[in-house]
């Protein structure tokens, strides 16, 4: 979990047209009620993420938005990038890309990777707020 005194936001930036999905199955096999097309260039603020999901997916929880009644989705990792930045509009000069791993921010502002502790991580998703 990030310290409460950090004013950083994690965003999901879409590198190409792709689907948010309710599972890691191929989007062509899912009914419309279980997928949401997101156009290239879209950036969404997320509350939590978990990389390393089956078939190269990231599990995300969206902040302040839901599609089709859901705010937790899967997305294909190669179609998006996670961006860690201040909470104002996305600025490529101050943002840093988050690699596909668990990330926390130490009190001195350094990004520290940590391993998943399934016994202490409720539902397996890392909270960012």
pLDDT of residue 2: 43
Cα first-last separation, the chain: 7
**18 part of a folded domain:** yes
pLDDT of residue 116: 36
Residues of the chain with pLDDT under 50: 1-5, 91-129
pLDDT of residue 4: 46
83-94 in b/e burial notation, b at 16+ Cβ within 10 A? bbbeeeeeeeee
The total number of structural domains in the chain stands at 1
pLDDT of residue 89: 55
Tokens 């309710």 correspond to what residue?
22
Tokens 């899912």 correspond to what residue?
30
pLDDT of residue 8: 76
pLDDT of residue 87: 62
**117 part of a folded domain:** no
**89 part of a folded domain:** yes
**109 part of a folded domain:** no
Whole-prediction pTM? 0.65
Closest by CA position to 89, among listed 47, 129, 128, 43: 43
The full length of the chain comes to: 129
């Amino acid at each position: 979990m990030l310290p409460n005194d950090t004013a950083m936001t994690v965003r999901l930036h879409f590198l190409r047209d792709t689907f948010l999905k309710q599972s890691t199955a191929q989007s062509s096999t899912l009914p419309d009620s279980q997928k949401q097309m997101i156009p290239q260039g879209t950036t969404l603020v997320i509350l939590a993420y978990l990389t390393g999901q089956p078939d190269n997916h990231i599990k995300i929880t969206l902040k302040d938005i839901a599609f089709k009644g859901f705010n937790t989705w899967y997305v294909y990792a190669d179609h998006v990038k996670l961006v860690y930045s201040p909470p104002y509009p996305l600025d490529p000069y101050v943002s840093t890309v988050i690699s596909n791993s668990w990330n926390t921010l130490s009190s001195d502002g350094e990004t520290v990777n940590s391993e998943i502790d399934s016994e202490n991580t409720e539902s397996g998703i890392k909270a960012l707020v």
